[in-house]
Structure 1
Amino acid sequence: MLRRRCNGRKPFIAVLYMVAVCSGVPVSDLLDRASQHSDKLHSLSTTLTHELESELLSLARSLLRAWVDPLVLLSSSADTLPHPSQSKIISKIHELQEHSNNLGDGLNVLSGKMEPAAQSVSSLPYRGGNDMGQDKISKLIRFQFLLSCFRRDSHKIDSFLKVLRCRAAKTQPHLC
Structure 2
Amino acid sequence: MWFSSGMQRAVWAVLLWPYLLTLCIPLVCKEEQGSLTRCPSISQEKLLDRVIQHAELIYRVSEESCSLFQEMFVPFPMRLQRNQAGYACITKELPIPSSKSEIQQMSDKWLLHSVLMLVRSWIEPLVYLQTTLDLYDDASEVLLNKTKWVSEKLLSLEQGVMVLIKKMLDEGMLPTTYSEQGLLHNDGQPEMLESVMRDYTLLSCFKKDAHKMETFLKLLKCRQTDIYNCA
Q: TM-score, normalised by structure 2?
A: 0.49
Q: In the alignment, what sits opposite 2:192? A: 136
Q: In the alignment, what sits opposite 1:157? A: 213
Take 1:104 and 1:134, find their aligned partners in 2: how far apart are those partners?
32
Q: Go from structure 1 to structure 2 and tell me whether the alpha carbon gap of 1:68 and 1:106 turns closer, same or farther (over 3 Å shift).
A: same
Is there any run of 5+ residues in structure 2 with no aligned partner, and where?
A: 1-100
Take 1:124 and 1:117, find their aligned partners in 2: how far apart are those partners?
22
Please say if residues 125 and 180 of structure 2, whose CA atoms lie closer than 8 Å, have aligned partners that are also in contact. Answer: no
Take 1:144 and 1:117, find their aligned partners in 2: how far apart are those partners?
37
Take 1:157 and 1:104, find their aligned partners in 2: how far apart are those partners?
11
Take 1:53 and 1:117, find their aligned partners in 2: how far apart are those partners?
13
Q: In the alignment, what sits opposite 1:38? A: none
CA positional deviation for 1:116: 5.2
Q: In the alignment, what sits opposite 2:222? A: 166
- Between Structure 1 and Structure 2, which shows a larger proportion of helix residues? 1
Is there any run of 5+ residues in structure 1 with no aligned partner, and where?
A: 1-44
Letter matched to residue 86 of structure 1: S
Identity rate of aligned residues, in percent?
27
Q: Deviations over 1:17-76 (max 9, x none)?
A: xxxxxxxxxxxxxxxxxxxxxxxxxxxx9xx84x71111000100111010111111111
CA positional deviation for 1:135: 2.4
Q: In the alignment, what sits opposite 2:47? A: none
CA positional deviation for 1:175: 3.1
CA positional deviation for 1:128: 1.7
Question: What value does the CA root-mean-square deviation take over the aligned residues?
Answer: 2.7
Counting only pairs closer than 5 Å after superposition, residues 15-164 of structure 1 correspond to structure 2 as 49=105, 52-82=107-137, 84-115=138-169, 120=174, 123=178, 125-131=180-186, 134-164=190-220
Take 2:127 and 2:139, find their aligned partners in 1: how far apart are those partners?
19
CA positional deviation for 1:139: 1.5
Query: Number of aligned pairs?
Result: 127
Structure with more relative contact order (C-alpha pairs < 8 Å, separation 6 or more) = 2
CA positional deviation for 1:143: 0.6
Q: Go from structure 1 to structure 2 and tell me whether the alpha carbon gap of 1:125 and 1:116 turns closer, same or farther (over 3 Å shift).
A: farther
CA positional deviation for 1:171: 3.3
Please say if residues 116 and 161 of structure 2, whose CA atoms lie closer than 8 Å, have aligned partners that are also in contact. Answer: yes
Q: In the alignment, what sits opposite 1:18? A: none
Take 1:78 and 1:97, find their aligned partners in 2: how far apart are those partners?
13
CA positional deviation for 1:173: 3.3
Q: Deviations over 1:109-144 (max 9, x none)?
A: 111112257955794533221128522212211110
Take 1:165 and 1:57, find their aligned partners in 2: how far apart are those partners?
11
Take 1:138 and 1:67, find their aligned partners in 2: how far apart are those partners?
21
Q: TM-score, normalised by structure 1?
A: 0.62
